[in-house]
Amino acid sequence: MSLVQSRQNFRVQAWITTLGILLFITKIIAYYQTNSLAILSDALESIVNVVAGLIGLYSLWVAAKPRDLEHPYGHGKAEFISAAVEGTLIVASGVLIIYETVQNFILQRKIYSLDTGLYLIAATAVINYIAGTFCIRLGTKNKSLALQASGKHLQTDTYSTLAIIGGLVLMLFTQLFWLDKAIALLMSVFIIYNGYIIIRKSLAGIMDEADMELLKHVLGVLNGNRREHWIDLHNLRVIKYGSLLHVDCHLTVPWYLNVHEAHIEVEALDKLIRKEFGGSIELFVHTDGCLPISCPVCTKDDCPVRQRPFQKRLEWTLENILSNKKHTVT
């Protein structure tokens, strides 16, 4: 990620945090106007928006710091930690809503001025969705998990608010006031589920879990742009460190290439990966010289030292490219 992108991410997160504070105040006003438990549940989730926004700001500041002796791979994983905390807070807000709803079954509250409250939270829903969409697009473009998590959270807030609006409108016309509690309980389950998804994704990043979709994307690029001297590719590893993509692999080239010629092939691989995935790439390639077992899958027509006839072009797949051994026809 470039310095310009890092600063852009930070500015956007600052605006999102400010927006979260303003929308939280709006929802609290709507709650006091109506005394609706459903609207209170929406306001409680907005508290999480504010806290998560502040955590996201800190994580983006840390993630933008350059590598140092203590952090040779940079500080990008701070974004995963931020997303994990944010997901935990989302789950906590869902549990709190359930608690408040159960309490309300015992202590009945009168609901009033629903029309005013509906206008207020409807406005917050529109603003949240626009801001969330912008965050997700920019986070995807700049490969920032913190921004994507913030955008996802804002959109989740929008969906929950829309559901609450629908339920309150129905309650307004039917006068079935128990719907207020039912809506709150349903939205708490929805909120907890979305929090779990964010936690799961962030923990996968912290534990360096293989991203199969990303690996498939990398494989598609490599298979579609193979060079003549790329006889084999194996022991491929792709790991995310925040916005930084760390790639290492073993590249088999003709054994008779000199060091300079082999380095040209590595540079071509590096250029291909960077063109597809951006400049935030850390690529480590170990070059291997080919062996006679490589001849059946070597597509080089004019090889002066071929010892076995060519049989077929071997497609790199998830099954064969992750193994730490040269490929041949089995």
Q: What is the pLDDT of residues 297-318, one digit of tens each?
A: 888 888 889 999 988 888 888 8
| 284 φ/ψ angles, rounded to the nearest 5 degrees | -120, 120
Contacts of 88 (CB under 8 A, 6+ apart): 195, 199
pLDDT at 269: 92
pLDDT in tens, 161-214: 887 788 888 887 887 777 777 877 887 887 788 788 878 877 776 666 667 777
Mean pLDDT value of segment 249-262: 93
The pLDDT assigned to 75 comes to 61
Percent of the chain predicted with pLDDT > 70: 82
pLDDT band at 266, cuts 50/70/90? very high
Answer whether 0.85 is exceeded by the pTM. no
Q: In this predicted model, what pLDDT tens digit does every residue of 93-122 receive, in sequence order?
A: 788 778 877 777 666 666 777 778 888 888
Calculate the average pLDDT of the chain. 80
**Range of lowest pLDDT (1-5, 43-47, 48-52, 324-328):** 1-5
Domains for the chain: give ranges and CATH numbers.
3-206 (1.20.1510.10), 212-321 (3.30.70.1350)
Query: Residue 59: is its pLDDT beyond 70?
Result: no
Q: What is the pLDDT of residue 79?
A: 66
Grade residue 254 by pLDDT with cuts at 50, 70 and 90. Answer: very high
